[in-house]
Chain A
C-alpha cells in the first residue's frame, strides 16, 4: 500500500494495517511544495512502517532522481520504484547513484531492487532493452496500466473493457523471457472512478489469483485485507494439491503418465501446478508468520 510520509495520521498507523509492503511515496501523492519535507522524513518513516514485518519500497520522482535518491536509499529499504521509466539510460542513471549510496552507507551493494514502472508507450516499446540495462535485480513491471499510461494513450481509464491489453502483455512477455517475474494484471472493470472500495479489491484479488498473479497494489487501507486473503493459496487448493501429488506419484510408480482423480485429469502439468500451489502457500505462510512475530513485538513495545 502507498503511504504518504508527510501525513502523521497515515504513516504512524500504517504498520497496524497488516500490509505485506508499504510504499513510501515521494511522487504523485506528495504536493510539489511538500517534496522537500517529505524527503527528510523517509529515513524515520522506514522504521515506522516496517514495525509489523512489512517490506519497504520507496517511490521517487522521475524529474528528481538525483535529488530524491540520497533521501531514499537507506538500510531497510527493499526496493526503489522508478516511475515513468522509458529508456535504458533512465535505469543506468538510477542504478549508478544507488550503487554509490549503497557503498557509502554500508548497504550490501546490489541488494536494493529496482522497480522500473512502465507508464508510457515509449517505456513499453523499449522494455527488453530496459530490462537488460543494469546488473541489478529488477522486479516486475506492473505499472503498465495506470493513470499515466491512460494519459499517454489518450484513453479513458475507468472503462468497462480492457484498454491496456497490448502494453501490459508485451511488457509481461519481455519480463518473463528474461526470467523476471511479471505481475502484469488482469482486467477488472471499474467504472466507478473510485479506488477505496473493499468489494472491488476482493474482485480484483479473485481475478488475479485465478490468473496466477501474486501481487497487487493498493491506494487505500480497505484494500489490504481483501488482497492479502484473496491472493493467498486457499486451504482447499492446498488439500487438492496434496491429493494430486500423491496420485501422480502413484501413477509414476505404476509406469503411467496420465490418470483421473475425482473426475479431474492428473498428469505432469497438474503435478507441477500442485507443486507451485504448495510453494506459494508456504511463501504466504512464512510471510504471515514473520509479520505476526513483528506485530506482536511492536505491540508489546508500544503497550
Chain B
C-alpha cells in the first residue's frame, strides 16, 4: 500500500464533471481536500466517450499538482470507466451504488489488472464505496470487506433509490437509520465514514452556504468526517462544518 493517509483530512470531496474543459484547474480556486472527476450523472450521455478519452491527461495533470484525485464511475458502465480512469496519479475509484460483495471483488480484480498494465503500484489504488441501494445498505458490512482497497464507506444519493420521497424529512426514520448503518459499518471496519444529512427543503433546492454548513456540522456530530460536494460552492462550507470545533 502507498503511504498511510490521515483519513480525517479528507473532508470535502468535490465532484468535477470529467468532460468539463476547466476540470484540470477546478481545484485552484476552492481547494477541496479531494477532487472527484466524475463519469457518472454530471456527465451527459453524449459526452461520456470524450470524458473517458480525456481522463488520462487529466489524472496525470492533477496528480502532478499534488491533488488527491479520484474518479467516480457509473455503475452501469463501471468496467469501461475503470479502464479509462486508471492512470498514474490516480488515488482511487469512487463506486456509487454497489449492491453486492461480488461486484466489489470483481472491480478489485480489474483495478489490479489495470495497475499492472499501466505501471501503477499494485494495491495502491483505493476504493471508496457510496451506498445508494437497499441491497447495498442491507449488505454494507460484506460489501465493505470485499476488497482490501476500500478506504471509505459513504452514503450516496439515496432520496430516490431508497424512496425517501419528494423531500427527505427531518423525522423520516429511514434516512437517519441508513446514515447510522453506514457509519456503524465504516467505524467497525476502520474506514472513513462519508455522508451528510442534506435537507434541501424542497425538490431541486439549491445548497446555499448556510444549509451546507448545517448539514456538514450535523454529519460531523453524527460521526461522519467528510462528504461529497456537488458544486464548488459547497467546498468551503463543508470544510467548515467538518472541521473539529
B21 close to A (CB within 8 Å): no
Query: Contacting chain A: which of B80-88, B111-119, B164-172?
Result: B164-172
Interchain CA distance A244-B47 in the complex, whole Å: 21
B31 close to A (CB within 8 Å): no
A296 close to B (CB within 8 Å): no
Query: Contacting chain B: which of A39-47, A92-100, A102-110, A165-173?
Result: A165-173
B173 / chain A contacts, CB cutoff of 8 Å: 162, 164-165, 168-169, 172, 184, 186-187
B123 close to A (CB within 8 Å): no
B41 / chain A contacts, CB cutoff of 8 Å: 257, 267-269
B17 close to A (CB within 8 Å): yes
Which residues 213-270 of A sit at the B interface, judged by CB distance below 8 A? 213, 237, 240, 244, 251-252, 255-258, 260-261, 263-270
Kindly state the interface size class of chain B when it binds its partner.
35 or more
Find out whether the CB atom of B204 lies under 8 angstroms from the CB atom of A257: no
Given known A-B contacts A169-B177, A265-B206, A177 and B163 have beta carbons under 8 A apart: no
Of A162, A252, A265, chain B has the most CB atoms within 10 Å of the CB of A265
Looking at the assembled complex, report how far the CB atom of B180 sits from the nearest CB atom of chain A, in whole angstroms: 9
Task: Give the 6 A-B residue pairs with the shortest CB-CB distance, closest first.
Answer: A212-B165, A264-B204, A169-B177, A176-B134, A177-B138, A177-B134
B77 close to A (CB within 8 Å): no
Find out whether the CB atom of A211 lies under 8 angstroms from the CB atom of B204: no
A277 close to B (CB within 8 Å): yes
B137 close to A (CB within 8 Å): yes
A128 close to B (CB within 8 Å): yes
Interchain CA distance A267-B43 in the complex, whole Å: 11
Find out whether the CB atom of B178 lies under 8 angstroms from the CB atom of A173: yes
Interchain CA distance A165-B180 in the complex, whole Å: 12
B57 close to A (CB within 8 Å): no
B42 / chain A contacts, CB cutoff of 8 Å: 257-258, 267
Looking at the assembled complex, report how far the CB atom of B164 sits from the nearest CB atom of chain A, in whole angstroms: 6
